[in-house]
Amino acid sequence: MPRLADMKLTPFLLFLAAITCANAAPLKINGSTTVNLPVAEAAEILRAERHLDIQVDTQGGSSGGISMLAEGSVQMGMSSKPVSAEDQEKYPQCRFHSIHIGEDAVALIVSKDVWDNGVRALTKAQLKDLYEGRVTNWQQLGGAHSQRIAFFNKEPGRGTWEVFVHWLYGSPKNAPQVSFPEVGGNEETRGKVATTRGAISQLSASWADGKSVFALALVGEDGVAVQPSAENIASHKYPLSRPLFVLTNGEPTGDAKVMADFLLSERGQSLVEKHGYLPLNALVK
Amino acid sequence: MAALLGVFAWQSAPVWTQEGLGYITGTKWFYRQHEFGALPLIYGSMMVSAVALVLAGPLGVGAAICIAEYLPSRARFAVKIPIELLAGIPSVVYGLLGALLLRDWVYKTFANFEPLSGDTLLTAGILLGIMLLPTIVTLTDDALRAVPAAQRRAGRALGLTQAEVIWHISLPQAQRGIGAAFLLALGRALGETVAVFLVVGRQDNMLPSNLFSLEPLLAAGQTLTSKLGGSEINIAYGDPLHWGAMMGLGLLLLSLTVGSALVGTLKRSGDA
């Protein structure tokens, strides 16, 4: 009951706070839409429980997060890529402090009949053939018997799709335009692949359950097949993954520190997991 | 209404200046090459709606005849109220049921035709047909009930059987109202988004070489609404031409749904 009352009062208190002490500036956060999902939910919780004034935005994605942090227009950036040497060169005055909050990995999942047909791993070249429609039968990709490929493409614009084409073509802009049936959310993707013969799609690795859908290994240049296991994702042996960061200028202080600590806490990490990413404790094993 | 059309027309102006009429007749949609042809989407919407009307039309009119002409009025209300409730069920409920049950049913039933998956134009059409059925039944029933009872009695007095009365007196007189029911249902079919989105497959550029072939029914496709409902709109934002193309789809959709609903409503009110 008191919590409910608090929640109802929150906007009012914020309003009061805003007019009484003008120097209580809000914590502004900006950057990657991928990282935004758990961070925005964390901000909601902190607003309700700690009465913090937090504004989360996603202008310009990861690069927007980095540049706005460096220019001082936000106090925290969100990024789904590490801050690069060029970024540091561009903004020499900024002491980028990266806080790793989780990992986003993409698995290529197939239906049970494909798995049973003996397809367990794909190379980059094979995936390109598949994506560009040059192969249409699993036999061409190592299946024991003839079976049509039903490729469900993750909707362009989704983070999962971007990780996939980024790895395959270097950048989403270089990816060829293709027309496949498209799938959106993780639940939909898993459901459709599980119930369709010869199906394959891209899916956040944490959703590949190994019961209804099966994650393929990726064969690297050295010919070694790498499973999308937590260890391989953590060590970056598995190529289809990217780290998720929040960034501050120097060690976080004040509200930014509250946010960073919350994201690393058990509750914060459960939000990371809830949105389909790997929490930190899944990475160190 | 005019303002709404105006906003869409204005927002989609870039694509009309770039593609001209080719926007409607073009068969390829490759946004990164800035190629926007909406014909496969219009085709998808039309096919899905056609399947829905072909399935729900005869069934709906049959059910309405049974309700309006054969049932005593108490029983009529007992049947009509639940039907009108069915017409009001949110479409996402139908969509989820379709995704759960209908996809697999189509996939298994038509296995001989080797569909690549259960997401097909046919699935979307059947699902829409189920959604439209209550609308068609209740509007057709209204149209039949609007035919004066005295005319039926006169028919019977002249020695016609009840079936002959229905065929020669009730149906011809209710014709306009039934036509209106179909047009209103068509408007709903064209505009339906969520349910179609979940089962149509959302595959671009699926225009068959033969427009009257039934084969593409068992392939995935894309409709105006499923395109607009997807995440492409997020990519389009910030690119005037791409955004214009998406808004152009809105304009096409609006014209089609408003057109059929308007004609339907006019017919209906003209009938009353």
Domain holding B136: CATH number?
1.10.3720.10
- Contact: A182, B203; criterion CB under 8 Å: yes
Q: Helix A61-71 and helix A33-50: axis angle, to 10°? A: 60
Say what the pLDDT of residue B237 is: 67
- Shortest CB distance from B230 goes to which of A152, A155, A191? A155
Q: Does B104 have pLDDT greater than 50?
A: yes
Four-point Cα dihedral B194, B200, B206, B212, nearest 10: -110
CA–CA separation, B176 vs B140, rounded Å? Answer: 10
Contact A277, A204 (CB under 8 A): yes
Give the pLDDT confidence score for residue B270 in this predicted structure.
Answer: 67
Beta-carbon contacts of B131 under 8 Å, excluding residues fewer than 6 positions away, are: B52, B91, B94, B188, B192, B195
Q: Which of A17-21, A122-126, A241-245, B61-65 has the lowest mean pLDDT?
A: A17-21
Cβ of A157 within 8 Å of Cβ of B198? The answer is: no
Question: Which of the four pLDDT bands, split at 50, 70 and 90, describes residue A25?
Answer: confident
Chain A residues near any Cβ of chain B (below 8 Å): 148, 150, 152, 155-158, 173, 177, 179-184, 188, 191-192, 195-196, 198-199
What's the token pair of residue B236? 């389009």
Query: At A249, which amino acid appears?
Result: N
Continuous segment of H or E residues that includes residue A150? strand A150-154
Please say if the pLDDT value at position A22 is more than 70: no
Residue B66 DSSP code = I
Q: Which of chain A's residues have a Cβ under 8 Å away from the Cβ of B31?
A: 177
* Residue B242 one-letter amino acid: H
The alpha carbon of residue A87 and the mean position of all alpha carbons in its chain are separated, in whole angstroms, by 21
Question: Please, what's the largest Cα pairwise distance for chain B?
Answer: 71
pLDDT at B100 over 80: yes
Tens-digit pLDDT profile for residues A27-40: 999 988 778 889 99
Kindly list the residues from chain B whose CB atom is less than 8 angstroms away from the CB atom of residue A148.
114, 116
The rounded distance, in Å, linking the Cα atoms of B40 and B31 is 14
pLDDT at A221 over 60: yes
For residue B29, pLDDT over 70 is answered with yes
Percent of chain A with pLDDT over 90: 46
Lowest mean pLDDT across A88-92, B146-150, B250-254 = A88-92
Q: What percent of chain B has pLDDT over 70?
A: 98
Q: Which amino acid is at B24?
A: I
The predicted-structure confidence for B114-147, as pLDDT tens digits, reads as follows: 888 889 999 999 999 999 999 999 999 999 999 9
The closest of B166, B161, B163, B223 to B193, measured between CA atoms, is B223
pTM of structure: 0.77
* Whether B32 and A173 lie within 8 Å, measured CB to CB: yes
Relative orientation angle of helices B121-145 and B171-191, to the nearest 10 degrees: 140
Q: Which part of chain A has CATH 3.40.190.10?
A: 4-102+244-282, 105-234
pLDDT in tens, B233-262: 767 766 788 889 999 999 999 999 888 888
Q: What is the pLDDT confidence band of residue A4, given thresholds at 50, 70 and 90?
A: very low
Confidence of residue A20 (pLDDT cuts 50, 70, 90): very low
Three-class secondary structure of residue A242 per DSSP: strand
With cut-offs at 50, 70 and 90, classify the pLDDT of residue A126.
very high
Predicted-assembly ipTM surpassing the 0.90 threshold: no
Q: B33, A177: Cβ pair inside 8 Å?
A: yes
Q: Domain count for chain B, please give it.
A: 1
Distance CA B171, CA B58 (A): 13
Listed in order, strand segments (DSSP E) in chain B are: 29-30, 35-36
Minimum-distance CB partner of B204 among A173, A179, A192: A179
Q: For A163-188, how does the pLDDT look when each residue is reduced to its tens digit (9 = 90+)?
A: 898 889 987 778 888 889 998 777 88
User: How far is the C-alpha of B157 from the C-alpha of A153, rounded, in Å?
Assistant: 66
Q: How far is B26 from chain A (nearest CA, A)?
A: 16
Nearest CA in chain A to B28: A179
Task: Please tell me the CATH superfamily of domain A105-234, with its number.
Answer: Periplasmic binding protein-like II (3.40.190.10)
What confidence tens digit (pLDDT) does each residue in A134-162 have?
999 999 998 999 999 999 998 876 778 88
Residue B45 domain boundaries: 2-271
Q: What distance in Å separates residue B220's CA from the closest CA in chain A?
A: 6
Chain B contacts of A150, Cβ < 8 Å?
Answer: 116-117
CB A108 within 8 A of CB A167: no
Determine contact, residues A280/A102, Cβ cutoff 8 Å. Answer: yes
Give how far A34 is from chain B: nearest CA, Å.
Answer: 14
DSSP A259: H
Tell me whether residues A181 and B33 touch, CB distance under 8 A: no
Give me the total of CB pairs closer than 8 Å, taking one residue from chain A and one from chain B: 56
Q: For residue A5, what pLDDT band results from cuts at 50, 70 and 90?
A: very low
Confidence of residue A130 (pLDDT cuts 50, 70, 90): very high
**A4-102+244-282: what CATH class?**
alpha beta
